[in-house]
């Protein structure tokens, strides 16, 4: 398979501030678990969680500390090294989600997380493919937590409107159940989008896909 460079990878040193920022926050003992707290309430205890674009590992580590079985996937070698140094007990698969061997995870994941702007950093034109790969890992009843800046995010990221993302999620076999404005479940807002998706064959109906943007 031809490697398609992610927007994160193309930015090169332009993205190094992320790792340095979280290294400092962890060293200061600051709270870096916000996304993980929301993820934790979406699953039963001891759930299987797939963290796509796990970065320096903070979300995976926080979920592992809460007793979940976490698979972390991250293609950036510098971040994988930082993650292994910061959280030695967390196993990280060093790969792009489009290239990682996910056969062992097929239809087994209770929750996939793509938080902290992962979806606006994937390689151009691969958004649906990424979501389809994630969909294939989901157990019946499995869900996906996604969070990104739809506009005015990091300079090297793309803009991604809620309507376009919802269309891509639907095309990938996912259903939009909720759209919030933060990981603390504020109402939908143009500044940040937090999505809860499920398999399109899941029972129930979407409840709060806000169209107020
Ligand atoms: C801003 S960082 C967020 C990291 C982490 N999720 C967090 O919130 O701390 C975005 C991450 O997405 C990763 N990423 C981008 N495209 C990816 C892909 N196709 N597969 C896996 N990770 C990807 C990047 O390598 C980068 O580590």
Centroid of ligand 1 to alpha carbon of 158 (angstroms): 13
Give the model's pLDDT for residue 209: 54
**Gap between the Cα atoms of 40 and 22, Å rounded:** 20
Between the CA of 52 and the centroid of ligand 1 the distance, in Å, is 7
The pLDDT assigned to 77 comes to 97
Architecture of the domain made up of 7-199: 3-Layer(aba) Sandwich (3.40)
The burial class, CB within 10 Å (0-12 / 13-18 / 19+), for 156 is middle
Q: What is the pTM of this model?
A: 0.96
**Per-residue pLDDT, 2:** 87
pLDDT in tens, 65-117: 999 999 999 999 999 999 999 999 999 999 999 999 999 999 999 999 999 99
- Per-residue pLDDT, 207: 61
Contact (CB, 8 A) for 43 and 68: yes
Distance of CA 101 from the midpoint of ligand 1 (Å): 17
Q: Please indicate whether residue 118, judged by its CB atom, sits closer than 6 Å to ligand 1.
A: yes
Residue 212's pLDDT is: 38
* Low pLDDT (below 50) residues in the chain: 210-213
């Amino acid at each position: 398979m031809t490697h398609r460079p992610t927007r994160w990878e193309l930015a090169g040193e332009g993205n190094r501030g992320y790792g340095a920022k979280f290294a400092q926050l962890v060293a200061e003992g600051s709270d870096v678990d916000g996304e993980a707290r929301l993820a934790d309430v979406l699953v039963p205890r001891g759930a299987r969680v797939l963290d796509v674009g796990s970065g320096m590992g903070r979300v995976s580590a926080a979920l592992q500390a809460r007793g979940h079985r976490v698979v972390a996937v991250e293609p950036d070698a510098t971040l994988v090294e930082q993650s292994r140094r910061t959280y030695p007990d967390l196993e990280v698969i060093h790969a792009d989600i489009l290239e990682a061997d996910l056969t062992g995870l097929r239809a087994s994941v209770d929750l996939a997380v793509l938080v902290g702007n992962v979806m606006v950093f994937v390689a151009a034109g691969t958004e649906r493919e990424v979501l389809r790969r994630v969909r294939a890992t989901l157990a019946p009843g499995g869900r996906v937590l996604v969070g990104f800046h739809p506009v005015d995010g990091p300079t090297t990221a793309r803009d991604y409107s809620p309507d376009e993302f919802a269309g891509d999620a639907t095309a990938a076999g996912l259903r939009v159940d909720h759209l919030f404005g933060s990981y603390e479940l504020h109402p939908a807002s143009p500044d940040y989008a937090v999505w809860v998706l499920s398999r399109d064959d899941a029972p129930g109906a979407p409840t709060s896909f806000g169209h107020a943007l």
